Structure 1
Amino acid sequence: MKLLAKWLLSAMALLFVAYVYHGVEVKSFTSALLAALVIGLFNMVVRPVLLVLTLPVTVLTLGLFLFVINALMFWAAATVLEGFEVRGFVGALVGSLIYSAIGVVIESALERLFPRQ
């Protein structure tokens, strides 16, 4: 139940990002659902590999390179999907920052609703 709620709320967060920031465009709620799924899959599969490969750069920049990795995951999802568009790297960076901030709020709220046992 928690996974389904997180998926739906993440899709709504993408719609909110598209509404607030003109660098991200989502055509429909279905596109937002697919984009949230693809972003989640990329973050689960590709992101850990990138984190390991870029560890020296991440340490050298005191963790700021993680923002670049998040933007790349956001941008990559937009390149494989129709109906979800990100305009340039800056659009991906700002969009991923807003999406991540909302994601933290969603995760916190869901943790309160569905506590671990």
Structure 2
Amino acid sequence: MENIMRFLIKIAAVALAVWVTTMIVPGIQVSAGLRNYLVIALILALINATLGTLLKILTLPLAFLSLGISLLVVNTAMLLITDRLSESLTITGFWSAFFGAILISIISSMITQITTKKV
């Protein structure tokens, strides 16, 4: 039960992070509605859990050599794939996706850390 709650918190955190990102990063838009943000967060989570994990493992030597910069490109690719799979997400270019991926990662990590702290 605890794992399900963590997953739901993570999805909500990513949805909120995507919303904040659309307000800050030009070139990233989501059709209005909470449902759209939750669907995008779910798609992004599933892509990151499957393809993202595989790509991060395959690019691990490059990530070591580039001090982690290649992982930013992997996260950007995951966001662009989410754009292709979701009708409600629109990303106009690589740099929008790049900065959006950074912002989504930071915001969702912060929210997850705050909401899952054990007392």
TM-score by length of 2: 0.86
Matched residue, 1:3? 7
Output the amino acid matched with 1:10. V
Aligned pairs for 1:99-110 (under 5 A) are: 99-110=104-115
Count of equivalent residues: 114
CA contact 2:36–2:88 (8 Å) conserved in 1: yes
CA contact 1:58–1:64 (8 Å) conserved in 2: yes
CA contact 1:17–1:95 (8 Å) conserved in 2: yes
Q: CA deviation at 1:53?
A: 1.8
Aligned pairs for 1:8-19 (under 5 A) are: 8-19=12-23
Matched residue, 2:59? 54
Structure 2 residue runs of 5 or longer lacking an equivalent are none
Q: 1:5-27 deviations in whole A, cap 9, x for unaligned?
A: 33223212211110111121011
Aligned pairs for 1:93-104 (under 5 A) are: 93-104=98-109
Q: In structure 1, how many angstroms separate the alpha carbons of the residues matched to 2:9 and 2:108? A: 12
Output the amino acid matched with 2:75. N
Q: 1:74-105 deviations in whole A, cap 9, x for unaligned?
A: 11101111011111111110001111110111
Equivalent residue for 1:77, pick from 82, 107, 118: 82
CA contact 1:2–1:110 (8 Å) conserved in 2: no
Output the amino acid matched with 2:54. V
Q: CA deviation at 1:107?
A: 1.4
CA RMSD of aligned residues (A): 1.6
Q: In structure 2, how many angstroms separate the alpha carbons of the residues matched to 1:52 and 1:11? A: 25
Q: In structure 1, how many angstroms separate the alpha carbons of the residues matched to 2:61 and 2:19? A: 35
Identity %: 28
Q: In structure 2, how many angstroms separate the alpha carbons of the residues matched to 1:5 and 1:61? A: 32
